[in-house]
């Protein structure tokens, strides 16, 4: 029996994807070898890579004037790659600070340019929230504005896409493909794969063509978007198996009806879990309703001393990885695309039973 996995990342993958990968593990499509053993420049592998890109473009309606790059190093490497690629002609950028991941990004960017930090976090009736854009002190001459659309650790998400007059850059690691998105509103989108795309080891970068000539002269070639775009994301050997598995996830998403369809499921999952938390005196979510993440749901127990028991009994009920991030504690359920509605129903049933026993 497969358990329900609520890990924030590396996260759950669709069972159908894992089963197909298992079937093809030793002999990919009758070729007599695993795709892990195949040259990344072979005709067969290039076809796999190109199909993955085409499927992602279809899922996200990515315009033709954007490059889609399949890179390595995780989203964290992009914290450095982005300023090195975009601050070559203008060394100023705005970074919106809403949590741990946006803070990590801005600290790396400060190594390369003049960074204006916009403290956008606030509190509404004791709940964490994001300030209205009218309260932000945006620069007039920034090369770009960066924000983390969904803070995986804090469970706080932007209700709307910021409206800015310069290229908008967003970390979408924990929300990509979870809801429809107008890619044309962004200059650059990036996302670590290990939450909603595929296994760890791959990072997606979607960058508008006009931003490919903005890099610093001292940027390493492996980090340079224009070089990666010119070489089909193969300046060096890419993460071939992660790329292949991500392609299987894209196929699975298309079979589910695409992003619009999976978004409706995600809304139903979030409504069920938040609804139960809000109806309980035992559980609490610390985020203001407009900024609640539909992917990462943190919650606390009325009695902190019961946390270890909660996690122990959850695991006994095949509900895994519910501990909150070590920096904030509490609990967190990450309900990404691959977590089925039945998994959230099982979690809510367990939470209710736990209250009856120990509340």
User: Do 42 and 68 belong to one domain?
Assistant: yes
User: Do 78 and 218 belong to one domain?
Assistant: yes
CATH number at residue 294: 3.90.1150.10
Clarify whether 136 is annotated catalytic: no
User: Do 193 and 329 belong to one domain?
Assistant: no
Question: What is the token pair recorded at 277?
Answer: 């938390």
| Domain range for 153 | 31-255
Last residue of a domain, one of 224, 255, 286: 255
Clarify whether 101 is annotated catalytic: yes
User: Do 181 and 271 belong to one domain?
Assistant: no
d(CA 331, CA 301): 8
Q: Is 207 inside a domain boundary? A: yes
Helices (H), 200-239: 225-230
The pLDDT tens digits along the chain (359 residues) read: 899 999 999 999 999 999 999 999 999 999 999 999 999 999 999 999 999 999 999 999 999 999 999 999 999 999 999 999 999 999 999 999 999 999 999 999 999 999 999 999 999 999 999 999 999 999 999 999 999 999 999 999 999 999 999 999 999 999 999 999 999 999 999 999 999 999 999 999 999 999 999 999 999 999 999 999 999 999 999 999 999 999 999 999 999 999 999 999 999 999 999 999 999 999 999 999 999 999 999 999 999 999 999 999 999 999 999 999 888 889 999 999 999 999 999 999 999 999 999 98
For 5-21, give one letter per residue: b (16+ CB within 10 A) or e: bbbbbbbbbbeebeeeb
User: Do 215 and 310 belong to one domain?
Assistant: no
Classify strands 114-119 and 121-124 as parallel, antiparallel or unpaired: unpaired
Terminal Cα distance for the chain, rounded: 29
User: Do 214 and 269 belong to one domain?
Assistant: no
Q: Which of 28, 195, 243, 269 is catalytic?
A: 195
Q: Which of 101, 224, 243, 252 is catalytic?
A: 101
Q: How many domains does the chain have?
A: 2
Q: Is 16 inside a domain boundary? A: no
Last residue of a domain, one of 201, 224, 255: 255
The single-letter DSSP state of residue 7 is: -
User: Do 39 and 139 belong to one domain?
Assistant: yes
Classify strands 296-301 and 331-334 as parallel, antiparallel or unpaired: antiparallel
Cβ atoms of 191 and 59 closer than 8 Å = no
Clarify whether 195 is annotated catalytic: yes
For 241-268, give one letter per residue: b (16+ CB within 10 A) or e: bbbbbbbbbbbbbeeeebbeebbebbee
Q: Which of 28, 55, 94, 171 is catalytic?
A: 171
Q: Is 13 inside a domain boundary? A: no
Q: Is 320 inside a domain boundary? A: yes
Last residue of a domain, one of 255, 273, 307: 255
Residue 325 confidence (pLDDT):
87
User: Do 248 and 266 belong to one domain?
Assistant: no
User: Do 155 and 266 belong to one domain?
Assistant: no
């Amino acid at each position: 029996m497969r358990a329900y996995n609520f890990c924030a990342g590396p996260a759950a993958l669709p069972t159908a994807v894992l089963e197909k990968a298992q079937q093809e593990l030793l002999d990919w499509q009758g070729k007599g070898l695993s795709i892990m053993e195949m040259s990344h420049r072979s005709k067969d592998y290039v076809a796999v890579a190109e199909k993955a890109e085409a499927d992602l473009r279809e899922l996200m309606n990515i315009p033709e004037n954007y490059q889609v790059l399949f890179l390595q190093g995780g989203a964290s490497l992009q914290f450095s790659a982005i300023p090195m690629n975009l601050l070559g002609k203008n060394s100023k950028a705005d970074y919106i600070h809403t949590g741990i991941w946006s803070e990590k990004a801005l600290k790396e960017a400060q190594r390369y340019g003049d960074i204006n930090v916009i403290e956008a976090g606030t509190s509404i009736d004791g709940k964490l929230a994001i300030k209205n854009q009218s309260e932000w002190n945006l620069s007039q001459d920034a090369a770009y504005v960066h924000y983390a659309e969904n803070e995986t650790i804090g469970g706080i998400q932007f209700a709307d896409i910021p409206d800015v007059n310069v290229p908008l850059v967003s970390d979408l690691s924990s929300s990509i493909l979870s809801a429809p998105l107008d890619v044309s509103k962004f200059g650059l989108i990036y996302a670590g794969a290990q939450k909603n795309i595929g296994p760890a080891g791959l990072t997606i970068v979607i960058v508008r063509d006009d931003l490919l000539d903005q890099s610093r002269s001292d940027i390493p070639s492996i980090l340079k978007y224009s070089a990666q775009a010119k070489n089909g994301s193969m300046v060096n050997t890419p993460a071939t198996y992660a790329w292949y598995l991500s392609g299987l996830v894209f196929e699975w998403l298309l079979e589910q009806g695409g992003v619009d369809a999976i978004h409706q499921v995600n809304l139903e999952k979030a409504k069920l879990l938040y609804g139960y938390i809000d109806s309980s005196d035992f559980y609490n979510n610390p985020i203001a309703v407009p900024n609640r993440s539909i992917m990462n749901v943190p919650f606390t127990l009325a009695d902190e001393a019961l946390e270890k028991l909660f996690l122990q009994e959850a695991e006994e009920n095949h509900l895994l990885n519910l501990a909150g991030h070590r920096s904030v504690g509490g609990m967190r359920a990450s309900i990404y695309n691959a977590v089925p509605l039945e998994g959230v129903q099982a979690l809510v049933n367990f939470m209710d039973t736990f209250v009856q026993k120990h509340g």
